[in-house]
Amino acid sequence: MWSSKDVYYISDSTGILATNLGQALICQFPEINFHEEKFPFVLNIEEAQKTLSYILNQSSGRRPLIFSTIMNEEVRAVFDSPEVELFDAFEIFMERMENCLEAKALRVPGFSRHIDNLTMARRVEAIHYCLEHDDGVKTHELDEADVILLGVSRSGKTPVSVYLATQMGLKAANFPLTSEYLNEYRLPDGVARNKKRAIALTTTPQLLHSVREKRYSDSNYAKLSTCIEEIEKAETIFRNHKIPIISTAGKSIEETATQVSQELGLSKKPASLSESP
């Protein structure tokens, strides 16, 4: 068994799809250390040859893994080398899709479907709302939110809010339960008024302690006993108000955001922004 492997994500667009595909696979092998690099916008044979040369020099004959979402067959063929292990997403799926649909694919890089001005405007509006209503700001405007995330400090509210806005087009606000609310076992008025759109995020005291220690080492705020007390009080508040609780422990931002949207019965906007390969 390999103790470590080099992994490269190659794309003629942003590389998001290649990266997500590769990481979804390699995470199933936690006993192996992976060194990862991404090469987006590899658009021609010359760039492909330079990229492959770099990969081979870096990996020194150790047969690195390459995850590719390059559409152009000639550019993609550069990486079909016996010195690497190539995982080609489009080679695996595209021909089968063409046969299934009895049609020829465009085979062009970029967004998978057209982005109109209205879709982009909605996405920008959601992102602006998220940024302007982060960390308990402007609670009087929470009536406009699609989702309100609650939790103690450092429970993962902000990154999940950003994902909901940027990837799902949802107006996401978040509010940290500070000692003022924890000690009185209450919610701020703006949140209580909109609690049907509220979701509580929690975690384990040990993980919360670890996160807080990295920024505020040896502080009372980071003590395990403080983390235990805050989580217990927060979860009591959530149960009293019948707010759904989702644990972020051991989950990715994407997993948590998906669970949040499912809990509230929300889905991506009908004209949602598509991901680049």
Residues 137 and 73 in one domain: no
- The beta strand positions in 128-244, using DSSP E, are 147-151, 172-176, 198-202
Contact 129, 165 (CB under 8 A): yes
- 53, 68, 101 — which closes off a domain? 101
Partners of 246 in the β-ladder: 201
How far is the CA of 11 from the CAs of 50, 168, 238, in angstroms?
14, 23, 44
| Structure-derived torsion over alpha carbons of residues 53, 58, 64, 66, reported in degrees to the nearest 10 | -50
DSSP type of residue 274: P
Q: Are residues 133 and 256 in the same domain?
A: yes
Beta-bridge partners for 9: 38, 67
Contacts of 103 (CB under 8 A, 6+ apart): none
Decide if 218 contacts 263 (C-beta within 8 A): no
As a whole number of angstroms, the distance between CA 2 and CA 149 comes to 42
Both 85 and 181 in one domain: the answer is: no
Tens digits of per-residue pLDDT, 110-152? 554 445 566 778 888 999 999 999 999 999 999 999 999 999 9
Predicted local confidence at residue 115, as pLDDT: 54
pLDDT in tens, 23-65: 999 999 999 999 999 999 999 999 999 999 999 999 988 999 9
Domain that holds residue 52: 4-101
Query: Residues 89, 141: one domain?
Result: no
How many structural domains is the chain composed of?
A: 2
Are both 96 and 121 inside the same structural domain?
no
Domain boundary among 101, 125, 155: 101
Residue 211: pLDDT over 90: yes
* CATH code assigned at 230: 3.40.50
Same domain, 206 and 137: yes
- DSSP 3-state of 208: helix
Which of 267 and 173 is assigned the larger pLDDT?
A: 173
| 128 shares a domain with 37 | no
